[in-house]
Chains A and B, each alone.
Chain A
C-alpha cells in the first residue's frame, strides 16, 4: 500500500508534465491571436505586431514552452496577458471560492444522495424506490445552467429571498451549491442504491437478520460499510466533472472562482492563465483520484495494490 501510494505520488510530476505540453499546444492550436483580440479589429497591423513582441508571442513555440516550464518549476506561472498580474496571484485569489463551493456541493450531495440511495435499495420496487429513481434520472439529465437560471428567477427575482449574484454572504452560497450538487447527488444515489442491493442479497446479511439484529443496525453498520467502496470511487473519480460543472455554475452566478477565470481567459486567449488554471485543476483531479484509492484500501483491506 505504502509503496503503491509512493509510486503514484512520484508519477504525479510526469502526468503534470504531459498535461502541460498538451494544454500548451492545444490552446495555441485554437485560432485567434491574443494581441489582435486585445488591440481590437481596427488597430493597424504595426500596433498588433508590437504588442505581440511585448507579450513574447513572437518567439518560436518550443522556446516559449521551455521558458514557461522553467518558470513553472520555480512556482512562477507567468503573467496574465490581460491583467499583467502573476497567474499564481490570480489563481490563489480565486481558488478558495471554487474549493469551498465544490466541498459544500459534495457534502450536500453525499448527505442527501447516500440516504436516498439506501432508501431506494431497502424499499426496492416500491413507491419510495420509484420516487428516488425518478428524481435521480431527472437530476442526472437536467442541464445545470438551466436549473440555475430557473432557481435564480424564482428565489432571487420572484421571491427575493436570496441574493442573485456575487459571493458576499453565506446566502450567496445556497443556490450555486445546490445547483452544483444536483448531478453528483443523483449519481451517488444511484450508485448507493445498486451497491446496496448487491450487498443486501449477500449471505452475511441474511445471517445478521437471522441473528435478530435490528434493521437499522443491518443497513447502516453491515450493509453500508460494504456498499461504500463503489460510492467512494465515484466521488473521487467525479471530482473532474465537478470542476467542469463549476465552470458553468460560476459563470452563471458570477462566482469569482477559477471556473469563471477560465471562461474569461479563454475568451481573450490569455494563454498563461488558461495554462495555469488547467494545471491546477489537473493536479487537483489526480490528487483526488489518489485519495480515493487510498480510502478504498482503508475501507477494504482485501483490495490489494501492486
Chain B
C-alpha cells in the first residue's frame, strides 16, 4: 500500500511537470485572472463597479494615473496647474498618442470625453462622479485643455485617473461600439469579449510607454467562491480576486499560492434610523455601540481578515483619525445608558441585510440581546435590499426599517466622498446614502468647510473634528474595515493592489 501510494505521487508529479512545461511553452505569458462578477461594460464611463475597473485598467488611461505608492503621477497629461481659487485647471497633454483604433489623442478627444458625461441626455452610469463638480472642459490648443470646476474637489486628480475619467476613443464612442469593444490608449488592447466566458487582452505594440506585463491577459469570473478557490488551486487560473475570508486561511496554508492582504477601504456599519422612536435618542445609539463586541465580530465573521472600526473614515484615508476610541465593549455602561433613556428592559428593532451579511446581523442579534434589544433580522436579495435601504423616511416608517447593514468604500476619492453621502443633511435617502436621516448642523459645516479648504493640514484638522463629532452622536454602529484579499500562484509577481480592492496587473510577471 505504502509503495503504491508513492508510485502514484511520483506519477502525478511527473504529470504536473509535463503539464507545466507544456503550458510554459504554449502560453508562456498568458495571465489568467478570475473575479467574482462579470464586467458590466467595456466602457469605463458606463459602469461603477470595482471589478469592472480591474478588467478595464490595462486598456485605458486617464490624464493622471495612480502610482504604485498611491501618489498621482502623469499619464496622458504631462503636467497641470491650478489657479489660486483652485477652480480653474490647465492640463498639457502628451503628444503622439493614439487610441487603439488609430484615432489621435488630443485636446478634442479630452473635450469629447468629458462632454459625454456633462451631457445629461447620454445617461452613462459613471457620469455622476464628473457632473457633481466639473462645470466645463475646453480646448485651448491641440495639446492644452482647461477645466472649470463648480467647487473645489481635493480628489479631482484621482477622479481623472479612473472610471469616467479614463479616455475612450471618441470615434468608438460615436459609433456606439465602445460598450462592447474597449478602445483606449492603454498598454493592452481588447482581442475578444466573449460575454459569459472571458475577456482577452493582448499587448498593444504601439503603446507610447513601457510595459513589462505578460503577452496576454485573460479575465474570467464565477459567482461561486468555492469555484474560484478550486480554479486557483488547480492552477487553471493564476490570480483570484477578491478572496472570500472563509477561504483565506486555506489558501494561506497552500504552498503553491500567495495570499495577499492589504487594509481595505470598505467600512461596514449598521446605519441607525434616527427617526425611529427609540433610536432618535443618542444614548440608545451609543448603547448599541457599546454592546457591540467588534473583536468577536471580526473573528467570527471575517476570520480575522478585518480590523475593528473606530471612525467613519477607513485607515487608508489620509485624514483617518486613529486615536478615536469612544466605544469599547462595555455591557454595563450600555445597560446604564439604555436605562437612562427609559429602555431598561430593552426594545425591539429590525434590520435590513443582504444575504451575504446575514450572519453578521445574526451575531449582532446575539450580542445585543444581552442588553435586552431584540433584533429582528430581515434578510433580502440585493435588489430588494437596495430598495429598502434607500427608502425615504415615510417608507422606512411604514416598512418598520430601524436599521440597515451596509458598507461603503470611497476607495481613493477621499474623505468627502465618504462623509458627505453618508452623514450630510443634504444626502438623505433616497437622493443620497444618509440612510438613517442623520442631521447635525455642526457635522454639515465641518464637511462643507473641509471640502472647500485647499490647505492639507487645515483640511485634515477639520476632518478630525468631523470624525469626532460623528462618533459622539453615533448615527451608526461601526463594525469593521474589511481587508482586501487576493491570491496568486507562487510564480506570479508584480501585481499591485489599490485601496478599494482594485488590482493592477498590467505589469505583472509570470515566471
Contacts and interface: CB of A to CB of B under 8 A. Distances in A.
Interface of A: 30-33, 36-48, 50-55, 82-85, 90, 93-94, 149, 152-153, 156-157, 160, 163-167, 251-252, 254, 256-257, 260-261, 263-264, 267-269
Given A83-B195, A84-B179, A251-B223, A47 B127 contact: yes
B97 interface: no
B96 interface: no
Contacts of B341: none
Given A30-B383, A164-B234, A256-B196, A42 B433 contact: yes
B418 to A, nearest CB: 10
Interface in B148-196: 176, 179-180, 194-196
Contacts of B122: 50, 54
A76 B430 CA distance: 35
Contact of A166 (B126, B197, B381, B421): B197
A166 B179 CA distance: 23
A11 to B, nearest CB: 33
Given A44-B131, A167-B197, A36 B227 contact: no
Contact of A50 (B127, B198, B384, B408): B127
A44 to B, nearest CB: 5
B276 interface: no
Given A84-B176, A152-B230, A51 B196 contact: no
The majority secondary structure among interface residues of chain B is loop
Nearest to B122: A54
Contacts of B204: none
B220 interface: yes
B40 A268 contact: yes
B124 A51 contact: yes
B231 interface: yes
Contact of B387 (A33, A52, A54, A90): A33
A256 B194 CA distance: 9
B390 interface: yes
Size class of the contact patch on chain B:
35 or more
Given A31-B383, A50-B120, A84-B179, A157 B234 contact: yes
Given A42-B421, A84-B180, A50 B16 contact: no
Interface in B221-257: 221-224, 226-227, 230-231, 233-234, 236
Q: Which of A39, A149, A261 has most chain B Cβ within 10 Å?
A: A39
A276 B122 CA distance: 25
Interface in B416-435: 417, 421, 430-433
A32 B433 contact: no
Q: Which of B131, B132, B224 has most chain A Cβ within 10 Å?
A: B224
B144 interface: no
Q: Which of B120, B221, B431 has most chain A Cβ within 10 Å?
A: B120
Given A260-B196, A264-B196, A164 B386 contact: no
Interface string B198-222: 1000000000000000000000111
Contacts of A46: 120, 128, 131
Interface stretch (B41-49, B70-78, B281-289, B447-455): B41-49
B381 to A, nearest CB: 8
B417 A42 contact: yes
B123 interface: yes
A164 B230 CA distance: 8
Contact of A252 (B128, B224, B417): B224
A280 to B, nearest CB: 15
A38 B47 contact: yes
13 contacts: A30-B383, A32-B386, A37-B386, A42-B417, A42-B421, A45-B432, A46-B120, A46-B128, A50-B120, A84-B179, A152-B227, A157-B233, A165-B222
A151 to B, nearest CB: 11
A261 B180 contact: no
A52 B430 CA distance: 15
A90 B388 CA distance: 32
Contacts of B196: 93-94, 256-257, 260-261, 264
